[in-house]
């Protein structure tokens, strides 16, 4: 989870989508090298929580979190 302040949290994968990693497979590849098999489950859970699908929707989601 990324945290903007104490009350505004969002999945870190949303931030990756803002920076152009719109595909779930690309996000999995980033973490594949750094974690063992058990740790990749955390990424899968985070991807399921992420409601955004592209960089524009991710930017809008983060903006709405900042400016409710």
Q: What is the pTM of this model?
A: 0.75
- Write the DSSP assignment of 12-31 as a string of letters: HHHHHHHTT--SHHHHHHHH
Q: What is the mean pLDDT of residues 7-29?
A: 88
pLDDT for residue 18 is more than 60: yes
Give CA–CA dist 54/38, Å, rounded.
27
Q: What is the CA radius of gyration of the chain?
A: 12
> pLDDT tens digits, residue range 24-63?
998 888 877 766 666 557 888 889 999 999 999 999 999 9
pLDDT of residue 65: 85
pLDDT of residue 30: 82
**Residue 65 in tokens:** 């979190």
């Amino acid at each position: 989870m990324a945290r903007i302040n104490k009350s505004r949290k969002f999945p870190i994968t949303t931030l990756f989508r803002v920076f152009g990693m719109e595909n779930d497979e690309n996000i999995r590849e980033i973490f594949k090298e750094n974690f063992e098999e058990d740790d990749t489950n955390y990424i899968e859970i985070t991807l399921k929580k992420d409601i955004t699908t592209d960089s524009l929707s991710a930017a809008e989601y983060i903006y709405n979190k900042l400016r409710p």
